[in-house]
Chains A and B, each alone.
Chain A
Amino acid sequence: MGGPGLSRIVAVAANTFRETVRERVLYNLLFFALLMTASSLLLGQLSIRQDEKIVKDLGLASVDIFGTVIALFIGVGLIGKEIERRSLHPLLARPLRRHEFLLGKFVGLGVTLLVNTLLMSLGLFATLLLRYRRADPALLKAVLAIYMSLLLVVAVTLFFSTLATSTLVATLFSLGVVVAGRYSEVIRNMRDVTNVPEWVVTGLYWALPNFHNFDIKTEVVHGDPVALAALGYMAAYLVIYAAILLLLAQIAFSRRDLQ
């Protein structure tokens, strides 16, 4: 991919970012700010001095939940809406290849999620610093892991939105895979408790995106060390899995009749 290709991807990404911000996606930050303020003020009384742990748990879970919801519901609309509104045709009539369009969409939503995740993390750190006069920098490792999982969700949604003919179907499939990916441990343990052949269970375990890999919230909140190597392996898993999904999405998208 040469210079012009890259600039076209950047243009699509910038446009996608502007579009998602215009759709008031970042309004969830307001709710997050209220949640953080209320929890830091009220939980001290309710939790018997466990409020700091709960603020951390709540903050990280919010980054995860809000990010996943945005990635899922905005992600499935990125391609589908363009097709349904027929706004894709004039775009592709320009010197813009389909895979560039797809990659631009992925990067654009990735940037939106990055901004959202960074602002939420800032909110969490500000709450901890103002309320408890300390904020553990190790929390950033959990935030980074969550962000990587969000990028994987975007890849999943883009894959299904290029395959499915309607946004609803793409949403249902993406939601199903993301939820199943969070149950990867349960799927692995099915080997011991069901009569399903082991190769089927193992195959399913390998095939589904393992979102459990990116969940280090417990370790970080309890102060356990998380090796940088583990974050490196997470990044490698993300790159490999997202590349597979985006390549498959590109194949499906290139074969798709958009008329």
Chain B
Amino acid sequence: MRPTLLGVLALCALIPVVQGRLDASLGEHRDQRSVLYLDSGQHVRRVVPGFEDLAADLYWLRTIQYYGGQRAFANQKTFALLRPLIEITTALDPRFELAYRYGAIFMSEPNPLGAGRPEEGIQILEQGVAALPGSWRLRFEMGSAYYFFLRDPERAAAALQAGARLPEAPFWMESLAARFLLAQDRNSSREIWRRQAEMSEGYMRENAVHHLKLLDSLDTRDAARGLVERYRQERGRLPASLEDLVTAGHARAVPTDASGRPLAYDPTTGSVEIARDSPYWRLRYD
């Protein structure tokens, strides 16, 4: 008995060693070659009669893992299976509101953060609205998607107005819709992200807070540009560095973005940008 037990323990101890070697030779985080053997929710339904909700949960977990895996590890971030995974999840549980909401964002975020296919993101939300006609949150997501990803304030406002008419809709949806129609400005964006942060948790909340800080960083950058221009008009030359703005009394401190990194300044052209190593740097901000 004792030699057998010792043998088992010895073999158990070998597992981490062999696993370590495998990880070293194959790579600890390999690009997942995911395959969907059942590519339609109706097919999956047939396989799990009576357990559709549990299957939806499992497919939702798989969707999140797939999205995270593509975002973090994939060389070519095609997000090819994202749409089918979301469709299977929502076909198995058509009332899985969060799957429509987050699924649409995963689809709409520009590549490499997401699949970069906002039209498909909106299609997912439309399916959600058909399944859950009383959900104002889905209308809000649709308005956000039209506004941010498709630059279509009219359809964004229409989605919000439709949501505002629902019984449990918050009071601010109507005014937000009106603001969309008046101007596509940074304050409107800030309002949406603020509402998003208030009504979300987890990843969605983090995402909303990130965008709010990005907008703050853009405000700081624009203010710094104004100060550089004021300095130039007063002194007839560009400041040598942003510290000169402090020395001249135009600013109390060297302007930084929301992460605390100093803004990038080019003394030859006078341009002020968010630094490239900042989490708020973007190639384009429109």
Contact = CB atoms under 8 A, between A and B. Distances in A.
A186 B47 CA distance: 11
A20 B57 CA distance: 33
Nearest to B204: A48
B64 interface: yes
27 contacts: A43-B61, A46-B64, A47-B57, A47-B64, A48-B64, A48-B98, A48-B102, A48-B203, A49-B201, A49-B202, A50-B98, A53-B57, A54-B57, A54-B61, A57-B53, A57-B57, A61-B51, A61-B53, A61-B54, A64-B51, A65-B51, A182-B49, A186-B49, A212-B49, A212-B50, A215-B50, A217-B50
Interface string A46-78: 111110011001100100110000000000000
Contacts of A49: 98, 201-202
A222 B95 contact: yes
Contacts of B50: 64, 182, 211-212, 215, 217
* Residue in A46, A57, A185 with the greatest tally of chain B CB atoms within 10 Å: A57
Nearest to B62: A46
Given A57-B53, A183-B49, 8 more contacts: A43-B61, A47-B60, A54-B61, A57-B56, A58-B54, A185-B49, A212-B50, A218-B93
Interface in A95-146: none
* Residue in B51, B53, B98, B204 with the greatest tally of chain A CB atoms within 10 Å: B53
B46 interface: yes
Interface of A: 43, 46-50, 53-54, 57-58, 61, 64-65, 182-183, 185-186, 211-212, 215, 217-218, 221-222
A101 B93 CA distance: 44
B141 to A, nearest CB: 14
A48 B52 CA distance: 20
Nearest to B52: A218
B58 to A, nearest CB: 9
A217 B53 CA distance: 8
Interface in B228-246: none
B57 A58 contact: yes
A48 B202 contact: yes
B115 to A, nearest CB: 17
Interface string B38-74: 0000000010011111101100110011000000000
Given A186-B46, A218-B93, A222-B95, A50 B53 contact: no
A49 B203 CA distance: 9
A85 B202 CA distance: 59
A53 B54 CA distance: 10
A47 B61 contact: yes
Enumerate the 7 nearest inter-chain pairs by beta-carbon distance, A residue then B residue, closest first.
Answer: A182-B49, A61-B54, A54-B57, A57-B53, A49-B202, A49-B201, A57-B54
B193 to A, nearest CB: 18
A57 B55 CA distance: 9
A211 B202 CA distance: 38
A221 B52 CA distance: 12
Contacts of B52: 218
A215 B54 CA distance: 13
Contacts of B204: 48
Contacts of B51: 61, 64-65
